[in-house]
Structure 1
Amino acid sequence: MKHALGLALAAGMATLATIGWLGYRLLDQNRSPAGIPPGLVASQELPPGQAQAAADAIMALTLPDLDGRPQAMAQWRGKVLVVNYWASWCAPCVEEMPAFSRLQSRYAAQGVQFVGIGIDELENMRTFVKANAVAYPLLVGDAAGTQTPALQVKGLPYTVVIGRDGQLAHSRLGRLDEARLEPILQRLSLQ
């Protein structure tokens, strides 16, 4: 009897978890104005052949900041550059931003620069930063601007780390936590 009750309870919890996950995914996908699905996806490293092309594509971007001023990514050439594609409607994106702000403050003196590229409406981004402190520049992107032959942003959040030498050092599709990112920054900031 106890065994049967335990199995029924485990099956019920698994069903609820699946329904909750699917509901969350559908809710966020329905809220996505850019058509890019939000996080909750596995880590996905770029194959070596695509890595340099992706880094070059990012460094070639010029996007407006929240005040409409164009900002060339090339202005941060020679720094360890952490580029995070995010949106205000993407819960995993919002969850990782405080850690990114802490790391920006901690590693700025070692030449590390975080940049957020919002795949979102400008007004949503402005509202977000009024309510949430962000210690790094935010630029306004769009879904079309993230889809080049060299760079495919297939979900959010998506983070790319480019070394001082312009080489792609790390990429992750999905939430990137502080414990995983900090050792990468430590290593690259010493190079």
Structure 2
Amino acid sequence: MNFVLSTFGRHAAALAAALACSVALAAAPAAPAAIYQTQLQPLDGKLESLDRYRGHALVVNFWAPWCGPCRTEVPEFVAMQDAYRGKAQFVGVALDEAAAVRAFAHDYGINYPLYLAGMGGIAIMLREGDTRGAVPFTVVYDGNGHKVGTITGLASPEKLEALLAAAIAATPGDH
């Protein structure tokens, strides 16, 4: 009888340990998106990562000055950057050269940070979920660095608002 109880006890202990490990793994937060560690070239400055924006919702828009839909959505991003200041940060990742990006930023009154990725930005877009490898492509992250959603093509204000609301709700202290 002691043998049966002893064997049962060992199995129960092993099962309890396995359960505890699986609960701990399930509760562990997902790793932040790779975009936060990607080194990007600011329009004026040295390479940096987007990790500096962690703590607030982040909207990363991949675009180019020659892209028609990009020209359409940028004024909405400018307005939303003002509306969400302190809760969300917009950044633009341009697939073009500095001179063209500077001129576009001036003409459109862009009020958020711009980074230069050139055609290397396509690889980043693909990694972040763009199956087309074409601009515009927008990704929204919560303040913990987790991807909330993506918009392929022209970003409708309604979809972007919904993703931002979810990102802000998932960000500690930004409600």
Question: Counterpart in 2 of 1:72?
Answer: 49
CA contact (8 A) 2:76 2:157 kept: yes
User: How many residues align structurally?
Assistant: 138
Question: Counterpart in 2 of 1:161?
Answer: 140
3-state SS in 1 of match to 2:85:
helix
Q: Which has the higher contact order (CA 8 A, sep 6+)?
A: 1
Amino acid at match of 2:74: M
How far apart, CA to CA, are the structure 1 residues paired with 2:148 and 2:83? Answer: 20
Amino acid at match of 1:66: L
Residue deviations 1:41-99 (CA, integer Å, cap 9, x gap): xxxxxxxxxxx78x622111121211133232010112111000000000101110111
CA contact (8 A) 1:99 1:177 kept: no
How far apart, CA to CA, are the structure 2 residues paired with 1:146 and 1:88? Answer: 15
How far apart, CA to CA, are the structure 2 residues paired with 1:173 and 1:145? Answer: 15
Would you say 1:127 and 2:100 are equivalent positions?
no
Would you say 1:186 and 2:165 are equivalent positions?
yes
Question: Counterpart in 2 of 1:25?
Answer: none
Distance 1:145 1:99, change over 3 A: closer
Amino acid at match of 1:170: G
Q: Of 84, 92, 99, which aligns to 2:61?
A: 84
Which of 63-72 and 123-132 deviates more? 63-72
Superposition RMSD on alpha carbons, in Å?
2.0
Give the greater-gyration-radius structure (CA). Answer: 2
Distance 1:128 1:120, change over 3 A: same
CA contact (8 A) 2:69 2:136 kept: yes
What are the ranges of 5 or more consecutive residues in structure 2 without an aligned counterpart?
A: 1-29, 171-175
Q: Of 88, 91, 97, which aligns to 2:74?
A: 97
Question: Counterpart in 1 of 2:150?
Answer: 171
How far apart, CA to CA, are the structure 2 residues paired with 1:145 and 1:107? Answer: 26
What are the ranges of 5 or more consecutive residues in structure 1 without an aligned counterpart?
A: 1-51
Percent identity (aligned): 33
Which ranges of 4 or more aligned residues in structure 1 deviate by more than 6 Å? none
Question: Counterpart in 1 of 2:88?
Answer: 112
Would you say 1:141 and 2:120 are equivalent positions?
no
